[in-house]
Amino acid sequence: MKVIIRILFLLAAVNGGLVYLHYSQSANAKGEGANSNTYRQEIEVINRADGLYIRHHFYNLSDGRHEIIWPKGSVEHGCEAEDSSACARLNDSLVAFEEGESGQQSVQYKLLKKKLLTERKLFKEPFVVLREAKPLTTVLHVTDEQGIGGMWVSGLERVGKANKERITYRLYRGVGFVNELYWQKQDVPLAYSSNKLTIFGEGIDKKYNDRLVKMLEAIGGNHISVVLASSNQPLYAERFIIEKTDNMSQVINQVARMSVQSRFTFQTDEPSISSMIASILVDEPIGTKAEQAAFTRLKESISAEQYQQFRQNIQETIGKKISSSDLDRSLSKILAFDTHYFHKTMKEQRYTYPFLLLDPRTVWLDGEEVPEVKVLVQDGKSFYPAEELLSKMGYSIRSNEQSIYFDSPNRTYRFSKVQPFYIMNNRKYDYTEKPYITINKTLYFDENWLRRIFLVLIDKSDETISIEQIEKLLKEMEKE
């Protein structure tokens, strides 16, 4: 047995060294050297009867102080060998690596188990974290000395395995960090593996596999593991998914959201924005039916050229914070019209909210500026707020369940809410296209109908929208 253990650890050391060397060279080629908030790490996990025994190695640490955040419930914190230079910067209280030149430091700790692993177990945040720092790469070794079988999932790509009697060994590696470790009794076979996606399962339709691969190519992001089996109880972690085989639509949506969340930083009060960003980057509806409808409405409301420019703008913000307001500003610049579409749908979660543009031009009425009149644009048509504009034109407005009334000294209007007609000064007019719409309980008149019904001239320039009442113009002409 001791010989077997030595062989396994020799394999772990060789594989880990090769993987670390590969990723170190890869990151250095990108210009990512050691700095105050990044490092590389290698984690060795041994599963024993009473707990997980962990040795955690940090590489390329900067020479500044690094505060250690130990896993909740962990015990036996310390150094593997007290005289080792790998612990030279670990202070006496075991709460930080102090300032020093050594870029490699190691600690060990233990996570207690309340009971033996039997069916499945998720270890949440089982590994040490350095405050205000992040790992560029992670190498993870998992050795099981209990012979429990099953499978371990971390979200990193599995790149090596070995089975020796009652001892099993698995090697994982990847970019970034995972702080969840999962075990389940059922060992599901590997179906697909790449540096972006690993799928475990049987009988998976190739079209779903191809769709996931295409999606991750479009979004990028960290590696994600998906475990599919008919007997699975669904579990959604930060970088892996446990799901039933026949629930692929949910898996696709979740993979897209997880990938986007690893590429951007979002506000916590905008949970749907990840689905919108994923839909735009992948160029297909992602998320719930309501979220998909909001994306489809967006795409149908702007030109193909505008949509592609918007996608490019989003791609250029990868790695940064992004909010619904950022999306509104970006699209507004492209369209030359203001919009609050993303704030309404993503922030306020009013998914059925129409795609509206706010005309930025100043509105003038009979030679006077009326800043309270904000013109909306929907489907290429301009709409004017009835209350704000018509009251300035001398109309009083009232309504009941059946009709809307507009009264002025010279004209009275009644618009039926039930039938397609209106009455002007006791004369009835039918229509096939409704002259007004209601948005957020506010009445707006279509520009063309406003001209025809209320007898106004509308002239537009780059800076202004000028509205003039024909009756007033005629009276002024008579005075002249």
User: What pLDDT digit, counting tens, does each position of 265-290 carry?
Assistant: 999 999 999 999 999 999 999 999 99
**pLDDT given at position 471:** 84
Over residues 315-329, the mean pLDDT reads 94
**pLDDT given at position 473:** 79
Over residues 295-320, the mean pLDDT reads 95
pLDDT of 7 > 60? The answer is: no
**pLDDT given at position 374:** 95
| SS3 category, 209 | helix
**pLDDT given at position 9:** 47
- In the chain, % helix, strand, coil (3-state, to 5) comes to 30, 35, 35
What sections of 206-247 are H helices per DSSP?
Answer: 206-219
pLDDT > 90 in the chain, percent: 78
Query: Tens of pLDDT along 197-215?
Result: 999 999 888 889 899 999 9
Over residues 433-444, the mean pLDDT reads 92
Tell me which of 70-84, 135-149, 177-191, 251-265 is least confident.
70-84
Q: Tell me the Cα Rg of the chain.
A: 32
Mean pLDDT (the chain, rounded)? 90
Over residues 34-63, the mean pLDDT reads 91
pLDDT of 438 > 70? The answer is: yes
Query: Tens of pLDDT along 69-96?
Result: 999 999 999 987 766 788 899 999 999 9
Amino acid (one-letter) located at 200: F
pLDDT of 313 > 90? The answer is: yes
pLDDT of 15 > 80? The answer is: no
Q: Cα–Cα distance between 432 and 206 in angstroms, integer?
A: 50
pLDDT > 70 in the chain, percent: 91
Q: Compute φ and ψ for 449, nearest 5 degrees.
A: -70, -35
Tell me which of 3-17, 53-67, 212-226 is least confident.
3-17
| SS3 category, 93 | coil
**pLDDT given at position 19:** 47
Q: Do the beta carbons of residue 234 and residue 248 sit within 8 Å?
A: no
pLDDT of 5 > 60? The answer is: no
Which pair of structure tokens corresponds to residue 33? Answer: 């050297």
pLDDT of 20 > 80? The answer is: no
* Beta strand segments in 12-85, E: 38-48, 51-59, 66-69, 74-78
**pLDDT given at position 477:** 66
**pLDDT given at position 168:** 94
pLDDT of 157 > 50? The answer is: yes
Nearest Cα neighbor of 156 from 134, 178, 189 is 178
Residue 70: DSSP 8-state: P
pLDDT of 31 > 50? The answer is: no
Residue 220 pLDDT level (bands cut at 50, 70, 90) = confident
Q: Following DSSP, what letter does each residue of 382-418 receive, concatenated?
A: EEEEHHHHHHHTT-EEEE-SSEEEEE-SS-EEEEESS
Amino acid (one-letter) located at 418: V
